[in-house]
């Protein structure tokens, strides 16, 4: 290996094994590569295979200093992975430590690559802290859900100590308990229990996800630094409180998706860690549509619907009479392939396009898109914000309820659809978003947030400056 390569700082980047965690980690890896880092990007064997099949990482073969590695996730091949989030979380705790330790030892003992100078791991993969400590390498946590939801997750211990969680009986879902306002969380105004990350919704203290989040979320703060995928203006009240309370330095460098797009080389721009093959034909379809005339619909990479819910959304879209682009993954419907009624397909064939996956950032930045019907995963929410696209929100689980609350009540760029989805509600909200007074106001506010997110990434902007500080103060400190 040449002497220049040997001198490079070397970042090992390892995301939690789900699409919504892989994407921001990849954007961060691209940013570091542009700044001269050797990158080792680690997926699970299962996801590595899927990325290879989708063809998104082919270009990396041309780079000497950006390598992909993989470790086993300990689950059988037929396991549903992200369709069974609790057991995937459990597997990362039980099975990641040993193969990760072996990988770090292999890389550090190799003459072919520079010595590791930092480990950047998902805030949920805290077993990596142990390995970083063993090797005397700084570990940096990348928290990939929203800042508001992270602050919610960090309240789990207190909610348990106050006897609020677990709930006393199963009626809490319908008896109004979830509407209780929690007035003791600093930085969060008028937050209700239903707005906090959804794993508190249990009557069992030993619920796997409740306990997992109670332990793993604060453990991320043991790292040398915490990276948040947001920008200062968006989350200032919560950031102020977190910085006051925790010694771990916090760097907001988001939206990383826009940041990496503006900074990456052309070769890296086209590199995708998509677990599905992306269909780009939809962009040509959009080119023929009027500006701000199309609703984009996607429920992300993990959400599953019942056949009934799929149908209600479908007929709501049909009745709205608006053009739509709808991403329907093969595994979107519980236990079966997602099938739409023939009558719906026939009724909407002139103005609807259905596909299995796409490059969402390209779609949301297209001039034809007027709104986004979303599950409010953080990547989707942030991509909507940085493209100035208002939302119809249908949160499903985890951080999505908190994101929905902030989108609708704090940032004023969304409307929530009832969890028990009805076609007439879908129709009414689509019409309101695309032509109502409320929709027009949201369009204006969305435009302002788009400008705010852009200015954070300019030289002198908060995210740009925070990234420079992160490099100087943490990632390159000893190099």
- The answer to whether the beta carbons of residues 302 and 80 sit under 8 Å apart is no
Q: How far apart are CA 421 and CA 394, in angstroms?
A: 9
- The answer to whether the beta carbons of residues 164 and 193 sit under 8 Å apart is yes
Write the CB contacts of 388 (distance below 8 Å, at least 6 apart in sequence). Answer: 443, 446, 447, 449, 450
Burial zone of 352 (CB within 10 Å; 0-12 exposed, 13-18 middle, 19+ buried): buried
Nearest residue to 253 (alpha-carbon basis) of 339, 349, 366, 140 = 140
Please state whether beta strands 369-374 and 225-228 pair in parallel, antiparallel, or not at all (unpaired). unpaired
- The answer to whether the beta carbons of residues 249 and 223 sit under 8 Å apart is no
Nearest residue to 398 (alpha-carbon basis) of 199, 203, 173 = 199
Q: How far apart are CA 230 and CA 215, in angstroms?
A: 23
The H-assigned helical ranges of 35-169 are 45-54, 85-95, 97-108, 127-135, 147-153, 156-161
Backbone φ, ψ for residue 303 (5° rounding): -55, 140
Sign of CA dihedral 463, 416, 208, 276: negative
Longest CA span, the chain: 67
Write the CB contacts of 397 (distance below 8 Å, at least 6 apart in sequence). Answer: 85, 198, 199
Active site positions, annotated = 21, 122
3-state helix, strand, coil in the chain (%, to 5): 50, 15, 35
- The answer to whether the beta carbons of residues 92 and 127 sit under 8 Å apart is yes
Q: How far apart are CA 281 and CA 63, in angstroms?
A: 28
- The answer to whether the beta carbons of residues 114 and 7 sit under 8 Å apart is yes
Question: Crossing angle, helix 437-457 and helix 462-470, to 10 degrees?
Answer: 40
């Amino acid at each position: 290996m040449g002497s220049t390569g040997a001198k490079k700082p070397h970042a090992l980047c390892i995301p939690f094994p789900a699409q919504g965690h892989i994407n921001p980690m990849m954007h961060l890896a691209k940013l570091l590569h542009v700044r001269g880092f050797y990158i080792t990007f680690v997926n699970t064997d299962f996801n590595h295979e899927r990325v290879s099949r989708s063809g998104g990482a082919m270009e990396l073969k041309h780079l000497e200093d950006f390598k992909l590695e993989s470790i086993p996730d300990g689950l059988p091949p037929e396991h549903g992975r992200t369709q069974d989030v609790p057991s995937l979380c459990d597997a990362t705790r039980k099975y990641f430590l040993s193969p990760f330790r072996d990988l770090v030892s292999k890389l550090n003992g190799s003459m072919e690559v520079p010595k590791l100078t930092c480990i950047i791991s998902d805030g949920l993969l805290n077993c990596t802290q142990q390995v970083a400590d063993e090797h005397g390498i700084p570990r940096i946590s990348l928290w990939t859900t929203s800042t508001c939801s992270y602050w919610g997750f960090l309240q789990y211990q207190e909610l348990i100590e106050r006897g609020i969680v677990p709930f006393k009986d199963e009626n809490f879902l319908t008896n109004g308990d979830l509407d209780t306002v929690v007035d003791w969380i600093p930085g969060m105004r008028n937050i209700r229990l239903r707005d906090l990350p959804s794993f508190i919704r249990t009557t069992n203290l030993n619920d796997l996800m409740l306990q997992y989040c109670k332990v793993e979320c604060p453990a991320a703060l043991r790292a040398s630094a915490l990276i948040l995928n947001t920008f200062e203006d968006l989350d200032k009240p919560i950031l102020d409180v977190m910085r006051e309370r925790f010694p771990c330095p916090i760097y907001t460098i988001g939206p990383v998706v826009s940041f990496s797009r503006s900074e990456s080389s052309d070769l890296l721009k086209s590199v995708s860690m998509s677990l599905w093959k992306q269909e780009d034909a939809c962009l040509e379809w959009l080119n023929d549509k009027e500006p701000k005339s199309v609703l984009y619909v996607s429920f992300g990479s993990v959400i599953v619907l019942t056949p009934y819910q799929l149908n209600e959304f479908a007929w709501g879209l049909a009745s709205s009479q608006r053009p739509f682009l709808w991403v329907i993954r093969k595994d979107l419907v519980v236990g079966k392939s997602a099938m739409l009624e023939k009558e719906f397909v026939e009724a909407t064939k002139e103005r609807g396009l259905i596909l299995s996956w796409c490059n969402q950032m390209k779609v949301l930045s297209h001039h034809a898109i007027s709104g986004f019907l979303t599950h409010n995963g953080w990547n989707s929410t942030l991509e909507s914000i940085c493209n100035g696209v208002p939302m119809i929100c249908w949160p499903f689980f985890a951080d999505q309820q908190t994101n929905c609350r902030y989108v609708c009540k704090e940032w004023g760029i969304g409307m929530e659809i009832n969890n028990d989805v009805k076609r007439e509600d879908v129709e009414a909200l689509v019409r309101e978003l695309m032509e109502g007074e409320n929709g027009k106001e949201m369009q204006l506010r969305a435009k302002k947030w788009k400008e705010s997110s852009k200015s954070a990434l300019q030289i002198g902007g908060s995210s740009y400056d925070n990234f420079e500080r992160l490099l100087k103060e943490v990632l390159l400190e000893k190099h």
